[in-house]
């Protein structure tokens, strides 16, 4: 996907990018590639692939959820900033908090935010399990996102404790989301959520399947969750 196709396909979805925003994506790409030589941020470094599989794929969350509002967003395990930083560039009014367990990645994100001139962004070095217990952040976000982090039963325990009651957890998944969902129903309910919508689409050009699951937080997550670091992954709550 070249930059012209990127702009055109987003316009078809009602998302218009300015010259300045495109300059930010260009700078994001060059910074990502530069830092990737020093540390492992992504296996995808070809420009057309980064625009398709990282930038466009991240922004696809906005095809099914309204980002044209002052949202307080938390991105769990964002790695090199996906999906929240591409979304922040496209929708500058959103506030973004990223939590990641690797301090090197936090260093990259701080540098990136400075390079791109982003405001209202916060990068926290922590495990998602302990972050979810922190009173400053617990049940404080309008939207929590995660992309390619863990299977849904595990992800629900990491993300739903951060979502405000009445707000949304958006899980971005590849193929196999339906099977994950079958096993995750008990977890979603346990942590106070309810699946209210799911969307399946294919990425342009390569036609690989993507799924976006919209989970509403209906009631508070019990205080004992999330469990201690490593436990959700070792012993997921599954149906």
pLDDT in tens, 112-156: 999 999 999 999 999 999 999 999 999 999 999 998 778 999 999
Distance, in Å, from the CA atom of 135 to the CA atom of 133, rounded to the nearest integer, reads 6
According to the annotation, is 128 in a ligand binding site?
A: yes
Domain-by-domain residue ranges, the chain?
A: 3-234
Task: Return the residue matching tokens 């990502």.
Answer: 32
Q: Provide the pLDDT for residue 5.
A: 97
According to the annotation, is 77 in a ligand binding site?
A: yes
According to the annotation, is 146 in a ligand binding site?
A: no
**Token couple for 43:** 């296996």
With beta carbons less than 8 A apart as the criterion, state whether 198 and 215 touch. no
According to the annotation, is 147 in a ligand binding site?
A: yes
Distance, in Å, from the CA atom of 55 to the CA atom of 197, rounded to the nearest integer, reads 23
Distance, in Å, from the CA atom of 148 to the CA atom of 155, rounded to the nearest integer, reads 10
Closest-CA residue to 169 (of 223, 204, 218):
218
Q: Provide the pLDDT for residue 148.
A: 72
According to the annotation, is 4 in a ligand binding site?
A: no
**Token couple for 149:** 């982090």
In three-state secondary structure terms, 56 is: helix
Which CATH superfamily is 3-234 part of?
Vaccinia Virus protein VP39 (3.40.50.150)
Q: Provide the pLDDT for residue 154.
A: 95
- Name, in order, each residue with C-beta under 8 angstroms of 5's C-beta and a sequence gap of 6 or more: 51, 204
With beta carbons less than 8 A apart as the criterion, state whether 99 and 128 touch. yes
Q: Provide the pLDDT for residue 206.
A: 84
Q: Provide the pLDDT for residue 149.
A: 77
């Amino acid at each position: 996907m070249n930059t012209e196709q990127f702009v055109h396909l987003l316009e078809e979805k009602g998302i218009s990018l300015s010259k300045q925003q495109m300059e930010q994506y260009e700078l994001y790409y060059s910074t990502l590639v530069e830092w990737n030589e020093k540390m492992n941020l992504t296996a995808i470094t070809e420009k057309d692939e980064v625009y398709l599989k990282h930038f466009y794929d991240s922004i696809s969350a906005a095809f099914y959820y309204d980002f044209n509002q002052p949202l307080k967003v938390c991105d769990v395990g964002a790695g090199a900033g996906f999906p929240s930083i591409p979304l922040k560039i496209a929708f500058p009014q959103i506030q973004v908090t990223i939590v990641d367990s690797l301090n090197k990645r936090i260093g990259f994100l701080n540098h990136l935010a400075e390079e791109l001139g982003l405001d209202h962004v916060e990068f926290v070095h922590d495990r998602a399990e302990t972050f979810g217990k922190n009173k400053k952040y617990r049940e404080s976000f309008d939207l929590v996102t995660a992309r390619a982090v863990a299977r849904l039963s595990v992800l629900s325990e990491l993300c739903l404790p951060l979502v405000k009651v009445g707000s949304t957890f958006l899980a971005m998944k590849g193929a196999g989301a339906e099977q994950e969902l079958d096993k995750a129903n008990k977890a979603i309910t346990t942590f106070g959520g309810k699946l209210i919508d799911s969307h399946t689409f294919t990425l342009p050009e390569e036609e690989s399947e993507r799924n976006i699951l919209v989970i509403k937080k209906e009631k508070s997550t019990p205080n004992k969750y999330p469990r201690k670091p490593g436990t959700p992954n070792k012993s997921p709550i599954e149906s």
